[in-house]
C-alpha cells in the first residue's frame, strides 16, 4: 500500500524534507539534519534538503535568532544577556564558533 502512495506522490520524503527546512528559519543545518533523521527521512533526502545550507546561512540564521532574543534580554546585565543568547543559539543547534561570532557582533553593536 505504501508503494502505491509513493507512486501517486502522496509520500514524498524529499519534498517533506525541503518543506521542513524552509519552514524552520533560524535553525542550524546540524539541528535540521537531526530533526529530519528522527522523523525517518533517508540520508539522501536529508542531504538534498539541508545540503544547500552553508556556513553563511547558518550565521544568518543565528543572527535572526539573536535579534529576536535580544529584544527580550537587552536590558539585562551583559553577562546574563550573553549567557541567555548563547543558550538560545545552542538550543537551536548552532556551534560554538557561530555563537561566539554573534556575541561579538552584539558587543560591537553591529547586531
Residue 45 · residue 6 · CB < 8 Å = no
User: Which three cell numbers mark 72?
Assistant: 527580550
Mean residue pLDDT across the chain: 91
Predicted local confidence at residue 111, as pLDDT: 85
Domain boundaries, the chain: 2-50, 55-108
Which grid coordinates belong to 55?
Answer: 556556513
Segment 9-57, tens digit of pLDDT: 557 889 999 999 999 988 999 999 999 999 999 999 999 999 988 889 9
Q: What is the pLDDT of residue 52?
A: 84
**Is residue 34 a contact partner of residue 5, using CB atoms and an 8 Å limit?**
no
Amino acid at each position: 500500500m505504501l508503494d502505491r502512495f509513493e507512486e501517486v506522490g502522496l509520500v514524498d520524503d524529499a519534498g517533506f524534507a525541503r518543506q521542513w527546512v524552509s519552514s524552520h528559519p533560524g535553525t542550524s543545518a546540524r539541528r535540521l539534519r537531526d530533526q529530519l533523521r528522527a522523523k525517518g527521512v533517508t540520508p539522501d533526502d536529508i542531504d538534498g534538503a539541508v545540503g544547500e545550507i552553508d556556513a553563511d546561512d547558518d550565521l544568518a540564521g543565528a543572527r535572526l535568532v539573536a535579534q529576536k532574543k535580544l529584544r527580550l534580554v537587552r536590558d539585562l546585565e551583559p553577562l546574563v544577556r550573553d549567557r541567555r543568547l548563547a543558550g538560545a543559539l545552542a538550543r537551536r543547534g548552532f556551534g560554538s564558533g557561530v555563537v561566539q561570532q554573534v556575541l561579538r557582533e552584539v558587543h560591537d553593536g553591529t547586531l
